[in-house]
């Protein structure tokens, strides 16, 4: 079914080459050391293909629904009555032209009728510098924050911290959705955590910029005041803990929004904002100019030579034929990798040792990554030890890791006393490894296999899933969580079309070479202005 040219050659082994020995120090960066996977054309199962096409069509409809925001009436009110730009239009003004934008959590809130969870969060280039952007969508429930919206905000701050990227907050929010405040306010990872995170980001020297383009009410008023710099739009932006109706109810006084917390007040008197913009385009130009003063991105390219990057030797569109396959042989993994890696080239580590995981090195856009891919038959003791060693070597060499999750068994029953210790060692290696990790769930993750391939609880930097993927304690569960359901709750960052797997990896892998600074390195406690 497949053939893999092994490395090093038998002659090299006879000469005593050490690259097959444990904890070897041989380089994996030379192009000669990677060999092309030779695989047959992906077999087409017509019934499975039709099912995958239906799943992809549903995913496309959900993406379109999420992109429509609060709907036609809300958009009309937002633009004509309030004279404000849409969240996507604001991003167009902020981001560099034609620069890619890696959106996180587009399907959040889809199960609750809350498009995008009420905000757009992602990573994009602003004035040539990568930034994490959190833009509230004022057309969704008036920009109020729901519990899942808080979770999404925390996810954005996590990315900013772990990737050492500046954060830009585009604020147009009515504050917390009060009927659900019990699920927003009191607990550790509720709304207050966002303020704690802002303080921590500031202490680590990670720049935060706020652009107030609408209401910034109640707890949200702390966001611009805890940021390094803040821009506000005249007659549109406002910052206050309690609005005019609350003042009227409490004191019986009539006060306008501008008098209570408008741009003139905060730029001239309170000092809560730094830049006075007459229009939204002017506000985003201010923001771009602020970002241009920051240090240039320190994103290491892993010596990538873009001129020599080879496309896969096999068509990426074939991946839709693989989705949902129950083939228990390693052929599935080789078919997958041959359509994801540069030139379909893969340096397999310990090919003959351990059958449950395929491990090795490959390149995406010229950048070397470590690969741990589940065959689906379970992680035996040898496979766990093999993957453990690869993770440790990638940690030593500063090479990011890509995990491909796939599980064809129930996730628990086939394991015994002989696998417990190796499993524990692998989980420890993944948990303590400081290199960034990306996970793609291509077929399901159950029980122990979910943890052994870097499940969400092991803090992967990015976690994606194919539409057919599921996550569950056991394969036998009556209602395993589908990829779309998991995306709605931000268990996965996004559900991707199988044929777009390489494209998605091309967008995120350059980010994985970033290193967050240690606490207080070149940082300080920020001045609180409120």
**Which tens digits make up the pLDDT trace of 259-286?**
999 999 999 999 899 999 999 999 999 9
Last residue of a domain, one of 274, 292, 310: 292
Last residue of a domain, one of 292, 319, 343: 292
Residue 506, beta-bridge partner list = none
* Cα R_g (the chain), whole angstroms: 25
Compute the distance between CA of residue 90 and CA of residue 105 in angstroms, rounded to an integer. Answer: 18
In which domain, by residue range, is 192 found? Answer: 68-292
State percent of the chain over pLDDT 90: 67
Q: What is the DSSP string of 385-446?
A: HHHHHHHHHHHHHT--EEEEE---S-SSTT--HHHHHHHHHHHHHHHH--S-EEEEESS-EE
Output the domain CATH number for residue 34.
3.90.226.10
Q: Are strands 357-364 and 367-374 parallel, antiparallel or unpaired?
A: antiparallel
Q: Within this chain, do residues 350 and 259 fall inside the same structural domain, yes or no?
A: no
pLDDT at 42: 66
pLDDT per residue as tens digits for the range 218-258: 888 999 999 999 999 999 999 999 889 889 899 989 999 99
Q: Tokens 């900013």, residue?
A: 160
Residues in the chain, how many? 530
Helices (H), 204-337: 222-225, 244-251, 257-261, 263-264, 280-292, 319-322, 331-337
Q: Within this chain, do residues 109 and 168 fall inside the same structural domain, yes or no?
A: yes
Beta-strand (E) ranges in 35-178? 35-39, 101-104, 119-126, 129-136, 167-173
Q: Within this chain, do residues 458 and 338 fall inside the same structural domain, yes or no?
A: yes
What is the value of pTM for the model shown?
0.85
Q: Within this chain, do residues 277 and 307 fall inside the same structural domain, yes or no?
A: no
In this structure, the number of other CB atoms found within 10 A of the CB of residue 473 comes to 14
Segment (H or E) for 54: helix 46-67
Helices (H), 175-313: 192-203, 222-225, 244-251, 257-261, 263-264, 280-292
Q: Within this chain, do residues 108 and 212 fall inside the same structural domain, yes or no?
A: yes
Residue 523 lies in a domain: no
Question: At residue 29, does pLDDT exceed 70?
Answer: no
Residue 38 lies in a domain: yes
- Bigger pLDDT: 13 or 80? 80
Q: Within this chain, do residues 316 and 452 fall inside the same structural domain, yes or no?
A: yes
Q: Among 279, 136, 274, which residue's Cα sits nearest to residue 217?
A: 136
- The mean pLDDT value for 471-499 works out to 85
Residue 63 lies in a domain: no
Q: Within this chain, do residues 446 and 379 fall inside the same structural domain, yes or no?
A: yes
Compute the distance between CA of residue 217 and CA of residue 240 in angstroms, rounded to an integer. Answer: 5
- Per-chain mean pLDDT for the chain: 86
Q: Within this chain, do residues 204 and 149 fall inside the same structural domain, yes or no?
A: yes
Q: Which band of pLDDT confidence, cut at 50, 70 and 90, is reported for residue 301? A: very low
Q: Within this chain, do residues 249 and 374 fall inside the same structural domain, yes or no?
A: no
Q: Within this chain, do residues 245 and 336 fall inside the same structural domain, yes or no?
A: no
Last residue of a domain, one of 292, 323, 351: 292
pLDDT per residue as tens digits for the range 416-448: 788 899 999 999 999 999 999 999 999 888 888
Which residues are CB-neighbours of 119 under 8 A, at least 6 positions away? Answer: 87, 134, 135, 136, 137, 149, 152, 153
Instruction: Please count the structural domains in the chain.
Output: 2
Residue 57 lies in a domain: no
Compute the distance between CA of residue 67 and CA of residue 45 in angstroms, rounded to an integer. Answer: 32
Residue 56 lies in a domain: no
pLDDT at 474: 66
Q: Within this chain, do residues 253 and 373 fall inside the same structural domain, yes or no?
A: no
Residue 60 lies in a domain: no
Q: Which band of pLDDT confidence, cut at 50, 70 and 90, is reported for residue 458? A: very high
Q: Within this chain, do residues 330 and 427 fall inside the same structural domain, yes or no?
A: yes
Residue 521 lies in a domain: no
Residue 140 lies in a domain: yes
């Amino acid at each position: 079914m497949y053939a893999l040219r092994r490395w090093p050659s038998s002659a090299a082994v006879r000469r005593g080459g050490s690259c097959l020995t444990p904890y070897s120090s041989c380089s994996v960066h030379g192009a000669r050391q990677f060999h092309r996977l030779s695989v047959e054309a992906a077999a087409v199962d017509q019934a499975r293909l039709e099912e995958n096409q239906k799943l992809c069509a549903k995913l496309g409809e959900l993406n379109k629904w999420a992109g429509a925001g609060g709907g036609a009436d809300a958009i009309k009110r937002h633009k004509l009555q309030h004279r404000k730009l849409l969240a996507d239009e604001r991003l167009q003004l902020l981001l560099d032209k034609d620069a890619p934008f890696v959106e996180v959590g587009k399907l959040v809130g889809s199960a609750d009728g809350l498009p995008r969870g009420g905000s757009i969060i992602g990573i994009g280039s602003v004035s040539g510098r990568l930034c994490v952007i959190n833009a509230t969508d004022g057309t969704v429930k008036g920009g109020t924050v729901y519990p899942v919206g808080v979770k999404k905000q925390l996810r954005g701050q996590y990315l900013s911290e772990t990737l050492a990227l500046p954060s830009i907050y585009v604020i147009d929010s009515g504050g917390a959705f009060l009927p659900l405040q019990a699920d927003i306010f009191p607990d550790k990872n509720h709304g207050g955590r966002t303020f704690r995170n802002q303080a921590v980001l500031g202490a680590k020297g990670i720049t935060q910029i706020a652009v107030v383009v609408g209401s910034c009410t109640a707890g949200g008023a702390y966001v611009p005041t805890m940021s390094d710099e803040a821009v506000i739009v005249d007659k549109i932006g406002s910052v206050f803990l309690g609005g005019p109706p609350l003042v009227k109810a409490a004191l019986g006084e009539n006060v306008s929004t501008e008098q209570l917390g408008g741009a003139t007040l905060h730029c001239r008197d309170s000092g809560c904002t730094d830049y006075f913009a007459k229009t939204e385009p002017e506000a985003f130009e201010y923001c771009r100019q602020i970002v241009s003063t920051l240090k240039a991105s320190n994103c290491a390219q892993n010596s990538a030579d873009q001129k020599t990057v080879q496309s896969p030797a096999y068509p990426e569109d074939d991946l839709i034929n693989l989705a949902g396959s129950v083939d228990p042989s390693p052929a599935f993994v080789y078919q997958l990798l041959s359509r994801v890696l540069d030139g379909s080239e893969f340096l397999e580590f310990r090919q003959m040792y351990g059958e449950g995981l395929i491990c090795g090195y490959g390149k995406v856009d010229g950048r070397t990554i470590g690969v741990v891919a589940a065959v689906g038959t379970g992680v035996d003791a040898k496979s766990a030890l093999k993957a453990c060693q690869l993770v440790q070597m990638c940690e030593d060499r500063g090479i990011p890791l890509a995990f491909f999750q796939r599980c064809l068994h129930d996730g628990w029953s086939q394991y015994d006393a002989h696998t417990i210790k190796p499993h524990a060692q692998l989980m420890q290696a993944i948990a303590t490894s400081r290199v960034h990790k990306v996970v793609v769930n291509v077929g399901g993750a159950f029980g122990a296999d979910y943890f052994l391939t870097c499940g969400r609880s092991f803090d992967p930097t990015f976690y994606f899933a194919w539409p057919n993927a599921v996550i569950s304690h056991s394969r036998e569960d009556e209602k395993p969580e589908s990829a779309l359901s998991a995306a709605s709750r931000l268990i996965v960052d996004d559900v991707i079309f199988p044929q777009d797997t390489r494209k998605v990896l091309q967008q995120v892998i350059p980010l994985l070479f970033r290193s967050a600074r240690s606490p207080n390195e070149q940082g300080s406690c920020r001045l609180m202005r409120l």
